[in-house]
Chain A
Amino acid sequence: MAIEDFQLLRRSLKADHRVQTEVYNSYCGKVYNSCLRILGDAHEAEDFMHEAFIYAFAKIDSFRGESALSTWICRIAINKCLDHLKKRRVKLEYDDSWEQRGAGATTGSPDNADYDVQRIFKAMEHLPEGCRIVFSLHIFEEMNHQAIAAQLGIREASSRAQYARAKNRIKELVNELYV
């Protein structure tokens, strides 16, 4: 993008409702799905999506164009969702009691599950909140475990462990839920 175009975009996003609406319509789906996967609630996801766009338009001067605009807005949304979860004091560390109930017990379970999008989403709903968040951030938002650990205030090893257990549990649940 030429510098002039970039500056024009920044100026327009600051005040031009038509451009703001256009950007919102283009990226709302991506941002909404990121929020939904982290929060697990449609109405909360919508609120945080809105908040992220409003914040992004107000702070557009700090957008350097180093990433795509959609990625930048998505990062804002994810940060806002995670801040919200921290305020809610969501248990983000690995829960031993969950493992004792059977989750992850089949470490190294065979990759013979019959995957589809809805089954995976359904399985994710059955994960403990902290585990689902780590899984979503790593696989969907492509954050590495170091970044996840820093963002959530947990140990990197805990992030890796929760991700591994989430994968195993999803494999099990995808089969169990549709038998």
Chain B
Amino acid sequence: MSDLEKYINRNREAFDGANPPEGHQERFLRKLEKNEQKEHHSTVTFWRVVAAVAVIVVAAASLIIPRFNHPDDVHYGSISLGEVSRELGDVEFYYDSELAKGYAALATLSANDPEVKSALEELENLGKEYNSLEKQLYESGRHEAVITAMIENFRLRLELIEALEQKKNFTLQNDSI
């Protein structure tokens, strides 16, 4: 070890004798405070961003998830006649087409007419019953009695419209099927 090194080691404290510029403590405390405010602000900003993202995610989920579970999109364990056989599918198609024309013709009548009103209520009830029969068809393992009831339901609805046709003397648009 040289004399220089020995001297420095012996007088180590003297080499730490320089004082920081005047006012260093006040400047430090100001910087410290400013830094804490900045950190606090960053923390608040962070949680605001988290909250905003959470709101967006919840809002998006509330719009998207119900769409996936919309009643129109979900089949609650029901099957249509067309899913049983091709022949029954043709029957279903026939009645659906005839009923669609009948409903279109009914829409031209006044809904305030008591007979029309009554017929529409009856059709609505039969429609609900048909939906129920589709579930029964699924649950019964495509039981023949249910298939018969479904076709009977179609026939009843069509008869109801035809009866009203006679009463109100309007003509179904009898386009070729």
Which of B7, B12, B16, B27 meets A50, CB within 8 Å? B27
Interchain pairs with CB closer than 8 A, number: 77
A139, B35: Cα distance in complex, Å: 34
Q: Which residue of chain A is the closest to B27 with respect to CB atoms?
A: A50
**Within A33-78, which residues are at the interface with B (CB < 8 Å)?**
33, 36-37, 42-43, 45-46, 49-50, 53-54, 57-58
Which of A20, A32, A120 meets B8, CB within 8 Å? A120
Q: Are A30 and B16 in contact (CB under 8 A)?
A: yes
Which of B8, B18, B19, B35 meets A54, CB within 8 Å? B35
Q: Are B25 and A24 in contact (CB under 8 A)?
A: yes
What are the interface flags for B4-22 relative to A under an 8 Å C-beta threshold, 1 for contact and 0 otherwise?
1101100110111111110
Count how many chain B residues have C-beta atoms less than 8 Å from C-beta atoms of the other chain.
25
A125, B10: Cα distance in complex, Å: 21
Asked whether any CB of chain A lies closer than 8 Å to the CB of B139, the reply is no
Asked whether any CB of chain A lies closer than 8 Å to the CB of B62, the reply is no
Count how many chain A residues have C-beta atoms less than 8 Å from C-beta atoms of the other chain.
33
Which residues on A sit within 8 Å (CB–CB) of B15? Answer: 33, 37, 117, 120-121, 140
Q: Are A167 and B11 in contact (CB under 8 A)?
A: no
Please give the distance in Å from B55's CB to the nearest CB on chain A. Answer: 30
A120, B21: Cα distance in complex, Å: 21
Known contacts A53-B28, A54-B32, A117 near B21 by CB under 8 Å? no
Asked whether any CB of chain B lies closer than 8 Å to the CB of A111, the reply is yes
Asked whether any CB of chain B lies closer than 8 Å to the CB of A103, the reply is no
Q: Are A46 and B17 in contact (CB under 8 A)?
A: no
Which residues on B sit within 8 Å (CB–CB) of A117? Answer: 11, 14-15, 17
Q: Which residue of chain A is the closest to B14 with respect to CB atoms?
A: A117
Which of B5, B12, B28, B35 meets A58, CB within 8 Å? B35
A49, B28: Cα distance in complex, Å: 9
Asked whether any CB of chain B lies closer than 8 Å to the CB of A97, the reply is no
A117, B16: Cα distance in complex, Å: 10
Which of B4, B28, B39 meets A170, CB within 8 Å? B4
Asked whether any CB of chain A lies closer than 8 Å to the CB of B69, the reply is no
**Within B46-67, which residues are at the interface with A (CB < 8 Å)?**
none
Q: Are A46 and B21 in contact (CB under 8 A)?
A: yes
A45, B16: Cα distance in complex, Å: 13
Q: Are A33 and B32 in contact (CB under 8 A)?
A: no
A58, B29: Cα distance in complex, Å: 14
Asked whether any CB of chain A lies closer than 8 Å to the CB of B24, the reply is yes
Which residues on B sit within 8 Å (CB–CB) of A50? Answer: 24, 27-28, 31
Q: Are A28 and B16 in contact (CB under 8 A)?
A: no
Which of B4, B14, B28 meets A167, CB within 8 Å? B4
Asked whether any CB of chain B lies closer than 8 Å to the CB of A9, the reply is no
Which residues of A approach B to under 8 Å, CB–CB?
17, 20-21, 24-25, 28-30, 32-33, 36-37, 42-43, 45-46, 49-50, 53-54, 57-58, 111, 113, 115, 117, 120-121, 139-140, 167, 170-171
For the complex of A and B, 6 pairs with smallest distance between CB atoms: A111-B3, A33-B16, A115-B7, A32-B20, A117-B14, A50-B28
Which residues of B approach A to under 8 Å, CB–CB?
2-5, 7-8, 11-12, 14-21, 24-25, 27-29, 31-32, 35, 39
